[in-house]
Structure 1
């Protein structure tokens, strides 16, 4: 009999960006700036405008994942996404940003993953094993994006 695995993971990193620059990077549209091959397909709203209840899909390899922005609190610099990869896993993702000073932001990221089948349990184990490396990669990708932006905007 199948036994669903549930795993909670959290971590953080600091960006050398003010909070109003850092925070939008974690919207579906914002992630297109720094995540290679991130191409959300927007269902509602069709233009991808960030709003509570928005629905979109992403795909990697043979998997398709459906997402909704369950909680959107710009005043508190916080997002909570809920996503499902059918037949595999159900995931809640929370991203919170906190200004450390005028030029740096702490980004806290937590995932709660639940397996929907043996393949999902295996995917969760793999994800958990690479979680710290994933956050380090996010940090590096955002810094690389920022360096490109800075070099393009120099006079």
Structure 2
């Protein structure tokens, strides 16, 4: 009998950028600036405008993942996405940006993952093993984008 694995992961990193530059980088459109091969397909709104309830999909590694922006709070610099990779896993992703000062921002990222199959459980274990490295890579990719933009 299948037993779903659920795992909660969290971590943070600091960027030498102001919060108003960092925060938009975690929208679907913003991620296209720094995430290689990130190509969201927008369902609603069709133009990809960031808004609570927006729905889009992404493809990676032969899988399609459906996303919605469940919570969007620009005043508090927070996002919460809910995504499902059918037949594999259900994931909640929360991003919170905090200004440390005028030129530095802390980014806190948490994932709550639930397996929908044995393959999904295996994917969660693999993801968890690389979580800290993923956040380190995110920071590096954003800094590389910053350096190209200057």
Name the TM tier (shorter chain): over 0.9
Task: Measure the CA separation in 2 of the matches of 1:7 and 1:103.
Answer: 33
TM-score with structure 2 setting the length: 1.00
Unaligned runs of 5+ in 2: none
- Residue of structure 2 equivalent to 1:74: 74
Q: Does 1:26 align with 2:46?
A: no
- Residue of structure 2 equivalent to 1:64: 64
Q: CA deviation at 1:62?
A: 1.3
Task: Measure the CA separation in 2 of the matches of 1:7 and 1:61.
Answer: 21
Task: Measure the CA separation in 2 of the matches of 1:110 and 1:65.
Answer: 18
Secondary structure in 1 matching 2:133 = helix
Q: Deviations along 1:11-42, whole A, 9 cap, x unmatched?
A: 00000010000000000000000000000000
Task: Measure the CA separation in 2 of the matches of 1:87 and 1:135.
Answer: 26
Q: Does 1:104 align with 2:104?
A: yes
Q: Deviations along 1:45-80, whole A, 9 cap, x unmatched?
A: 000000000000000121000000000000000000
Task: Measure the CA separation in 1 of the matches of 2:94 and 2:74.
Answer: 13
Q: Does 1:50 align with 2:50?
A: yes
RMSD: 0.3
Q: Deviations along 1:90-116, whole A, 9 cap, x unmatched?
A: 000000000000000000000000000
Deviant stretches of 4+, over 2 Å: none
- Residue of structure 1 equivalent to 2:17: 17
Q: Does 1:136 align with 2:136?
A: yes
- Residue of structure 2 equivalent to 1:4: 4
Q: Does 1:90 align with 2:100?
A: no
Unaligned runs of 5+ in 1: 151-155
